[in-house]
Structure 1
């Protein structure tokens, strides 16, 4: 802090604490006119809310301070990831607190991730056609685990395809209140298609995936392949 002395008026001083202590000391010699000072309390910005399914970083809310946000896996940040406390007669943030939302579809390339129905953990909306694609390097598949699953039976469903949505083969179609068993998709690209009609709405699904190296051929098949090659002397059948 400052220790003013002499006849020069000190510059404006701002403090970041809610406590301020002033100490005035004189000796036994010359006496001066002293000082006259005024103070005004500076309010901080109100504490921003932490988004549901999100994380807030930053514990100071004074002018110029910045608070940042990010979302948990499976959610997308809607709004500004950074907000700044602005000066003025009323302390305010330059942007509203953002939201973390589960979106309808997306592209994922990380080795592990989360797929959520739109609006999760709330009910999904009506009239949806959502497509998610998980694409990993060639040679990898994904292990899928269903943590939650609840849709209107038959009419609302999640279809999983090995490959692209257009040309991939259907692995399974899931619908109703039963949480599916975990399984392994062997293709490096897996597509998810979710459809909801215009009647009942349910909580939907929460799926996690983890990339795994593809399974190698069993040794018995390798030996059989070598035996066939010798038997037919490399000729094509």
Structure 2
């Protein structure tokens, strides 16, 4: 006796993923997606063919070694997570957020072989001199990369030929405002040169060499009349107020600090928005 079937068998669900569609008749399409941080090995749907077989094997959801991530939120996982990561890895992730926004990294899992396996975080591609070099099993604090000038952060994961652990699970989100250290640089309003959004409360902090002042010049400055930029001569909003600016009041003007720090607060309301600002400091 041979049993007749009019549908394909259940194709299953990828580990760390989901299936979309529960009809398995001939001609039915079943699609799949992956949890945050995982990539689908084959994005094409499965089709139940006339011979009651699926057209291809079940795809997998994999944590990949590096990649380019564009967006204001996301997840970065060590390869193989939550299983132990492979040996001899050299993985680089580039994260690009909206213009004028920094990126905040939050660590949910972190366990590397210390000191041989490590994670490097930088914002200018300079891995020989990273912002942070992380290893071991202590959960790092929340980290922020300023991203002014190139709007990207980079993470590199390096492992050796021996012991491995479960690795890391990191989420990131775009943050407006940042802390900038250096002799010169550029500050941009969120999404510049596009229009900034509503309900922003962005803090920008500039720190230069001790004993040096800061000169801030607005190359472009267009705010709605009820939105404002406050500029303080120091390292907090308790310092002397240099001015509160709306509309085009700061356009082509220059502000000078008497200290080696400057603190800026950008506030937008729920009404109309505008192009924002491009500020250069030296």
Q: Structure 2 CA distance, aligned partners of 1:157 and 1:136?
A: 24
1:186 and 2:146 correspond: yes
- TM-score norm. by structure 1 comes to 0.73
- The residue aligned with 1:234 is none
2:60 aligned residue? 99
Q: Distance in 1 between matches of 2:167 and 2:143?
A: 19
1:110-130 Cα distance to aligned partner (Å, 9 max, x none): 110001000001000000000
Runs of 5+ unmatched residues, structure 2: 178-202, 206-230, 235-240, 244-254, 259-282
Mapped to 1, the partners of 2:6 and 2:62 lie a distance apart of: 32
Task: Give the superposed CA RMSD.
Answer: 2.0
**What residue is the counterpart of 2:233 in the other structure?**
220
SS of match in other structure, 2:242? helix
State the partner residue of 1:206.
Answer: 169
Deviation of 1:41 after TM superposition, in Å, equals 4.7
Give the equivalent residue in structure 1 for 2:19: 56
| 1:71-220 equivalences in 2 (<5 Å) | 71-88=34-51, 91-165=52-126, 170-187=130-147, 188-214=151-177, 215-217=203-205, 219-220=232-233
**How many pairs are equivalent?**
186
Q: CA deviation at 1:48?
A: 1.2
Q: Deviations over 1:43-72 (max 9, x none)?
A: 310111111111100010010000001112
Once the 2 structures are TM-superposed, how far is the Cα of residue 227 of structure 1 from its aligned partner?
Answer: 6.3
Structure 1's unaligned 5+ residue stretches are 1-39, 229-237
SS at 1:103 equivalent: coil
Give TM-score, length-normalised by structure 2. Answer: 0.62
State how far apart, in whole Å, the 1-side matches of 2:15 and 2:44 are: 14
CA distance in 1, matches of 2:66, 2:56: 27
CA contact (8 A) 1:79 1:96 kept: no
> Could you say which structure has the higher strand fraction?
2
> Alignment partner of 1:219: what SS?
strand
Measured against aligned partners, the alpha-carbon deviations of 1:190-230 in whole angstroms (never above 9, x if no partner) come to 110110000101100000000011233452346294466xx
Q: 1:68 touches 1:83 (CA, 8 Å); kept in 2?
A: yes
Distance 2:108 2:204 in 1: 28
Contact 2:27 2:47 in 1 (8 A): yes
Higher helix fraction (1 or 2): 1
Q: Distance in 2 between matches of 1:165 and 1:53?
A: 33
Distance 1:54 1:203 in 2: 19
Question: Does structure 1 retain, via aligned residues, the 8 Å contact 2:121–2:127?
Answer: no
